[in-house]
Amino acid sequence: MLSLTPLQPADLDAVQALDLECFAGDAFAVRWWHKALEGQGAAAWLAREGDTLLGYCLFSRVLDEAELLRIACAPAARQRGIALALLNHAMTQLEQQGTRQLFLEVRASNLAAQQLYHRAGWHETGRRKDYYPLEVGREDALLFGCERPGDAGQLNR
């Protein structure tokens, strides 16, 4: 059974190992994991089956805004709905904690991630030309956003 939990100190090694596996050669700055653990401007959630870490997502937070910095699922566990469950869970938690605006940047070539964001209720809001480096040349970033109305919005629906 899938469990969705906030990042804990004991998870650090496993999360960093999965991050390295999913983003080869681009291991994310360790300081973000520590900020998430301290609840200082970042938040992270994990997906597990038993003791096995299958996915994680990491947000930076400022006031009522949050940016999705990373989401990944272990290669062997992809296309089973794990990232979608994790993202929906994180978005609900963030909303309960006061986040109203979500945003992210994604490579134009990353169609799997873009489909995931659409499935989770995000929409494309813009494009940054030549934002990401490639081995040869550069590629655009697509900008996505999602509004979370909170309790007031729920009452008005």
Ligand X SMILES: CC(C)(COP(=O)(O)OP(=O)(O)OC[C@H]1O[C@@H](n2cnc3c(N)ncnc32)[C@H](O)[C@@H]1OP(=O)(O)O)[C@@H](O)C(=O)NCCC(=O)NCCS
Single residue of 2, 67, 81, 150 touching ligand X by CB under 6 A:
81
44 CB neighbour count, 10 Å cutoff: 22
Query: Is residue 127 within a helix (H) or strand (E), and if so which, with residue range?
Result: strand 123-133
15 CB neighbour count, 10 Å cutoff: 22
**115 interacts with ligand X by CB under 6 A:** yes
**78 interacts with ligand X by CB under 6 A:** yes
Residues paired with residue 145 on neighbouring β-strands, in sequence order: 103, 123
Task: With contacts defined by CB under 6 A, name the span among 5-13, 35-43, 78-86, 143-151 that binds ligand X.
Answer: 78-86
Mode of pairing for the β-strands spanning 52-62 and 42-49: antiparallel
Task: With contacts defined by CB under 6 A, name the span among 29-37, 111-119, 126-134, 147-155 that binds ligand X.
Answer: 111-119
Residue 127 near residue 142, CB atoms below 8 Å = yes
Single residue of 53, 94, 102, 113 touching ligand X by CB under 6 A:
113
Whole-angstrom distance, CA of residue 94 vs CA of residue 82: 18
Whole-angstrom distance, CA of residue 149 vs CA of residue 151: 7
Nearest distance from C-beta of residue 98 to ligand X, angstroms = 23
**109 interacts with ligand X by CB under 6 A:** no
Task: With contacts defined by CB under 6 A, name the span among 25-33, 113-121, 128-136, 146-154 that binds ligand X.
Answer: 113-121
Single residue of 42, 53, 102, 116 touching ligand X by CB under 6 A:
116
Q: Would you tell me which residues interact with ligand X (CB under 6 A)? A: 22, 70-73, 78-84, 106, 110-113, 115-116, 119
